[in-house]
Structure 1
Amino acid sequence: MSSDSSKLDLGDLEGYMETLVRDWHVPGVGVSIVRNDEVVITQGYGHRDVVNARPFTSSTLFPIASNTKLFTAVAAGLLVERGLLSFDEPIRNAVPSLRFYDQSLDAAVTLRDMLGHKTGVPRYDMIWYESDYSTKDLFDRIRFMKPIVPLRSRLIYNNMMYEAVGHIIELISGKPWQQFIRDEILVPLGMHRTLFTYGDAKADEQGDYALPFSEGRNSNEFWQPPAPKDDGCSPAGSIVSSLEDIARWSIVLMNDGLIDGKQAIPESVLKATLAPGLPWPTEMSDVFGFKTDLNGIYGMGRMTAAFRGHLLTSHGGTLRAFHSQVSYLPEEKIGVSVFVIGDHCAPLSNAIGFDIYSRALGLKETDWTARLLDFRRKAKATMRKARERAVPRAVPNTQPSHDLADYAGSYEHPAYGTFDISTDGTQLQFGFRQVKLPLNHFHYDRFDTADDETNGAWSVSFLTSMLGDIDRAAIWLDQAEAVFARRPTRPDADVLARLVGTYETPLGRKVGVKLSRDGDISLFHPGEPADVLKPFKGLQFRSSDFPDITFEFALDEDGRAKALRHWNAHVELEWPRIDDSIPADALEDGGLVKS
């Protein structure tokens, strides 16, 4: 789709794009250009499906990843406009169920902090990435995310805060995030080819959606990485859209909410998202050795910067093999959005816009694409040589401390959820969400996967308790070590019921074992508070009060408990079971409720 492109002198845009597709070996790329309230061009180049040579079109559905964030920020702004939320009051005033890592954050964090990446909390991306968690599940996990810098002291990009805001929108509006976005933004704007998941795109009647392709890391051949999840809406990054719809979105943004002669979004809401927050990090400019834009400042869901003396507002989006950039020049009212398939050509999502803006403004061209292509080729060659030279640094001649079967089980982290370790008797297998890879012994109790092109390399270090059991495992996630506790194997309820009774210590003291309404085994001495025993494995339990003490029930031929053994590093005792009833005085003094 295009209109009168003579309003902008873009030179030989077709030739320029064809050259990029050839030189960068691009599977497919799409460009949308708007000026004032008109569409200049929406055009695809290359293929949305490179294997079957299906063309990239102006209506091709494409995952825009983090360009979803501005939709979420605008949705939250609509609730602010209606007096239901505030950008600058503590968010817990409106949403008491939201909990942060500590009370100081609870008392201070605002909606603007969450949308502006100002909470001081690191990314914790592996909580939500490829998980089955709902927005509420992710909202509930905010409390486990520990800050690493003081509030509002440094911008740290954080997808999880947008997931939480998505749930806040539902709590306040009474509508799920996606329904609120559809009703309040997409329908009024006439964005009919904007959907909420990759699965929605695959179900599209036209069948016009982009497929992920990228160059192999050791070759120039295309391969197909895993596609985004089919289900699960993400307020941080799941929207799929088309060049035609993104053109309408850009027109609305550039014109303060006006489109087709009507005020579709309040001007105040859009201006709020542009209010300057914290500086955008410049690490990549330092790596490149040159700067494309200067003094980036993040607002809420987008940022502003200076591009060759002109104000630029933009935001990028990145998923595996899908890269997008939505930007415009507010003073000149020229907007360029770019969709790119392929990780190896991801820099084009920025560079194409820079080149088009330079042409449209009549500036002397700087060949951004040539500079970035040279950088990309050198980086790929360097990394290939580094992998070839890589030598395992394992401590030689070491063995695992346990049999392989002892490592098998599920391990749980309060924020990240669980991963599983299984074994076929000769090798361990690692399973974490979509990642399923064999583990090979590295040294001591560390096991590694191979460096898989799809999922990378993973290392698992198993840890032991004071009693020598494998009870934890550490993995490097989100640039930090995350320790997962081994999930206990809990006996069935009928087995637990056979453990209830009175046991006698070697000194003749009566000790009661009771099953609570919640299914917990509790141990108590008369006159003392109950000690809830935590399941460990089989009929072994750990004391809540003394974690270095293990209790194990022994059963008779009929499957009923005949004794309770307990031990720590220094002593082991056995208490015979003398009765299947529980002393009444122990129940009263121990504070347990009779079942």
Structure 2
Amino acid sequence: MMQTNTLDSQTPSKPLTDLHNVIEKCWVECGIPGMSVAVLHKGELIFAEGFGKRNEQGDPFEPMTLCPIGSQTKSFTAAAIGELVAEGKLDWDTKPVSKYLPEFELKDPTLTSQLTFVDLLSHRLAVDNCAEAAFYRCAESRPEIIQRLKHADLNSKLGTKVNYSNMMYTVAGEAAARVAGMSYEDVVREKVIRPLGLNNTGFSQTEMRDQSPNHAMPFSVRSFEDAQKGDFNAEKMDEVYMTYAPAGDMYSNVLDLVKWGRVVIKGGELDGKQVLNKESLQETLKPQTIMQGGRRGPEYAPMVNYGLGWCIDSYKGHANHRHGKDQFEEEIMTLKYHALNCHHTLTLLALFAHGAKLGGIVWGYSCGLTVFPDDDLVVAVLSNLVHNGLTHYLQFHIADEVLDLPKTRSWIPDLAIQGTKGYYEQVVKGSAGEGKVPELIENRPPTHPLASYVGEYLHSLYGTVSVTMDETGVEGKQGLDCLSFSGFGFSAKMKHHHFDLFLMTLSDPSGTNMALATFRIGADGNVESVVVDYEGKSEFRKQGETKESTIA
């Protein structure tokens, strides 16, 4: 049974002016199945409500409803590592991470010898997109995939801009676990969750489901019109625990999140007691890299910096920390959509890559947590739909109301609704896989019998993918689509396009993502490899008696 949060018994005594009515109207117009909002000001819970449904049965979404928090996990990971720093068991930026985790070895030994926890947690080094995708739901353990990073081609020069990488958070989490002599999950539980009494916060969607029946199920939707009509697709919870859980596989509720936010504001204090190390927690809030620069709206600072698990920004002169950029509409115009159909047009990798820019994102869920340290204000928002403008812009509307700031924009409803509409417009444009799929050349069958393509294919960094053939497969018009693909934690039917090119719709528990597979023929006339085009092209060598070699 779920334990009761100390905030849960409080009755909001100073409701925000008309906030309930504003959200009640807008969550429908933005097309959100369900959401929860909590506002903590000067230690008092002044707003905590749920809206809509948390599951297909129509059970209400409440402040206590559990929901995945995506990349907001990173702030917990960084804080737990900070506690180990405070204990003298590791340090932020003087010793390389490889000293604590010897299997963390890159191609460039100089780079390996230099990378510190600060480098990893501030996103100074990125693994390529295909590797991020390959490791997302793979079966190997974290140490196993970390060992494969020695085959990755990485830029040895560390820059000043964020190179967002979930994989580097995985390395940092595993190194912390090695130092502490316990699992990464137990490190965060023992150092952060339990000391703060965050009894509704934990790891994995499976644990969330088992923790309480009051948890949110994920939804998807095909268009903005369908979203506004409430025509949602109920999805299944992901049963596979993320390999890079330190980057994004925690769950919580808005009550625990605002409590966590206030501990951050108070420098690790809880109820007048110093629970987390003040210096270490402050270190996570120091700017390390540039998240966003260039021309921004007059409400914001000239740039957004990234610390360790937090973005550092200001709003109308008021400092704030969060895990996201300021402009939702800017991000939806820059996302790349690769899909064959309208069911889901964002790859899971794109979602995670932009999780730092739009809050905390896991497919089917979104999270927003914003802390205004000088104003002792924390705003938490959770929803069971990925992208929506309300989850993003609500923080600004609330800040204007609570802090009595001048109204410069109509965050709610205008920008929230228009931002959501713009997102779906981009979805529609990307639904045909424009620019991804070559124009069909008619009447060009595969160059080899389909059985020739069957087998296992290996890449030294990304691991093994498999091609199999249905038992009912026959050579002929219908039989050309009897091949199946598995890899990157996904499985897919392979639809023949022309020659040796096949199209794949990679399926995960809640969506479909497009990829291409092109088989290459060797000098001996046999199938030699397959090039998988999924967030970048990667060649996998066929394994067997005559295909033993691998490539990097």
Give 1 or 2: higher helix fraction.
2
Matched, 1:361 2:403: yes
Q: Residues 434 and 291 (structure 1 numbering): CA distance in 2 closer, same or farther, change over 3 Å?
A: farther
Q: Aligned equivalents of 1:386 and 1:119: distance in 2? A: 29
Contact 1:120 1:152 in 2 (8 A): no
Q: Aligned equivalents of 1:218 and 1:349: distance in 2? A: 16
Instruction: For residues 484-519 of structure 1, give each alpha carbon's deviation from its aligned partner in whole angstroms, at most 9, with x where no partner exists.
Output: 11122xxxxxxxxxxxxxxxxxxxxxxxxxxxxxxx
Q: Aligned equivalents of 1:267 and 1:170: distance in 2? A: 21
Aligned to 1:413: 459
Aligned length: 487
Q: Aligned equivalents of 2:392 and 2:549: distance in 1? A: 57
Superposed displacement of residue 411, structure 1: 1.5
Q: Residues 421 and 337 (structure 1 numbering): CA distance in 2 closer, same or farther, change over 3 Å?
A: same
Aligned to 1:260: 271
Alignment of 1:353-392 (within 5 A): 353-365=395-407, 366-369=409-412, 370-381=414-425, 383-384=427-428, 387=431
Q: RMSD in angstroms over aligned alpha carbons?
A: 2.7
Matched, 1:456 2:513: yes
Pick one of 180, 184, 194 that aligns with 2:191.
184
Contact 2:313 2:320 in 1 (8 A): yes
Matched, 1:305 2:317: no
Aligned to 2:178: 171
> One-letter code of the match for 2:73?
T
Alignment of 1:515-530 (within 5 A): none
> One-letter code of the match for 1:376?
T
**SS of corresponding position for 1:312:** strand
Pick one of 105, 119, 141 that aligns with 2:125.
119
Contact 2:35 2:61 in 1 (8 A): yes
Superposed displacement of residue 375, structure 1: 3.6
Contact 2:73 2:248 in 1 (8 A): yes
Contact 2:100 2:175 in 1 (8 A): no
Q: Aligned equivalents of 1:328 and 1:302: distance in 2? A: 10
Higher relative contact order (CA 8 A, sep 6+): 2
Q: Aligned equivalents of 1:67 and 1:200: distance in 2? A: 17
Superposed displacement of residue 310, structure 1: 1.4
Q: Aligned equivalents of 1:120 and 1:432: distance in 2? A: 22
Contact 1:126 1:416 in 2 (8 A): no
Aligned to 1:214: 220
Compute the TM-score of the two structures, normalised by the length of structure 2.
Answer: 0.82
Instruction: For residues 89-130 of structure 1, give each alpha carbon's deviation from its aligned partner in whole angstroms, at most 9, with x where no partner exists.
Output: 222233333212311211211110000000254443213212
Contact 2:106 2:112 in 1 (8 A): yes
> One-letter code of the match for 1:30?
S
**SS of corresponding position for 1:422:** strand
Superposed displacement of residue 222, structure 1: 0.3
**SS of corresponding position for 1:73:** helix
Q: Residues 62 and 379 (structure 1 numbering): CA distance in 2 closer, same or farther, change over 3 Å?
A: closer
Matched, 1:318 2:361: yes
Aligned to 2:24: 18
Matched, 1:352 2:408: no
Matched, 1:28 2:20: no
**SS of corresponding position for 1:343:** coil
Alignment of 1:551-570 (within 5 A): none
Q: Residues 224 and 433 (structure 1 numbering): CA distance in 2 closer, same or farther, change over 3 Å?
A: farther
Q: Aligned equivalents of 1:389 and 1:180: distance in 2? A: 42
Contact 1:2 1:39 in 2 (8 A): no
Pick one of 103, 106, 109 that aligns with 2:109.
103
Instruction: For residues 336-374 of structure 1, give each alpha carbon's deviation from its aligned partner in whole angstroms, at most 9, with x where no partner exists.
Output: 1111221352x3222111111111121233222422422
Pick one of 508, 521, 531 that aligns with 1:474.
531
Q: Residues 282 and 131 (structure 1 numbering): CA distance in 2 closer, same or farther, change over 3 Å?
A: farther
Contact 1:30 1:58 in 2 (8 A): yes
**SS of corresponding position for 2:537:** strand
Compute the TM-score of the two structures, normalised by the length of structure 1.
Answer: 0.76
Aligned to 1:69: 74
Matched, 1:272 2:283: yes
Contact 2:126 2:165 in 1 (8 A): no
Aligned to 2:342: none
Matched, 1:446 2:501: yes
Q: Aligned equivalents of 1:4 and 1:224: distance in 2? A: 33
**SS of corresponding position for 1:54:** coil
Q: Aligned equivalents of 1:208 and 1:4: distance in 2? A: 20
Contact 1:62 1:209 in 2 (8 A): yes
Q: Residues 383 and 104 (structure 1 numbering): CA distance in 2 closer, same or farther, change over 3 Å?
A: same
Superposed displacement of residue 137, structure 1: 2.2
- Residue segments in structure 2 that go unaligned for 5+ positions in a row: 1-7, 324-358
Q: Aligned equivalents of 2:159 and 2:433: distance in 1? A: 42
Q: Aligned equivalents of 1:140 and 1:268: distance in 2? A: 32
Aligned to 2:492: 437
> One-letter code of the match for 1:55?
P
> One-letter code of the match for 1:27?
P
Contact 1:398 1:444 in 2 (8 A): yes
Matched, 1:281 2:292: yes
Q: Residues 543 and 269 (structure 1 numbering): CA distance in 2 closer, same or farther, change over 3 Å?
A: closer
Matched, 1:422 2:464: no
Share of identical aligned residues, percent? Answer: 25
Q: Aligned equivalents of 1:192 and 1:13: distance in 2? A: 28
Q: Residues 460 and 55 (structure 1 numbering): CA distance in 2 closer, same or farther, change over 3 Å?
A: same
Q: Aligned equivalents of 1:144 and 1:413: distance in 2? A: 9
Superposed displacement of residue 440, structure 1: 2.0
Aligned to 1:510: none
Contact 2:161 2:291 in 1 (8 A): no
Q: Aligned equivalents of 1:342 and 1:74: distance in 2? A: 28
Q: Aligned equivalents of 1:381 and 1:446: distance in 2? A: 29
**SS of corresponding position for 1:32:** strand
> One-letter code of the match for 2:448?
H
Pick one of 370, 382, 400 that aligns with 1:339.
382
Q: Aligned equivalents of 1:83 and 1:388: distance in 2? A: 54
Q: Aligned equivalents of 2:54 and 2:418: distance in 1? A: 25
Q: Residues 21 and 457 (structure 1 numbering): CA distance in 2 closer, same or farther, change over 3 Å?
A: same
Moved more, 415-424 or 155-164: 415-424
Moved more, 69-78 or 90-99: 90-99
Alignment of 1:492-507 (within 5 A): none
Aligned to 1:393: 439
- Residue segments in structure 1 that go unaligned for 5+ positions in a row: 489-534, 548-595
Superposed displacement of residue 312, structure 1: 1.0
Aligned to 1:229: 239
Give 1 or 2: higher strand fraction.
1
Contact 1:36 1:254 in 2 (8 A): no
> One-letter code of the match for 1:151?
L
Q: Residues 282 and 222 (structure 1 numbering): CA distance in 2 closer, same or farther, change over 3 Å?
A: farther
Q: Aligned equivalents of 2:276 and 2:426: distance in 1? A: 48
Matched, 1:151 2:158: yes
Pick one of 189, 193, 197 that aligns with 2:200.
193
Aligned to 1:139: 146
> One-letter code of the match for 1:76?
I
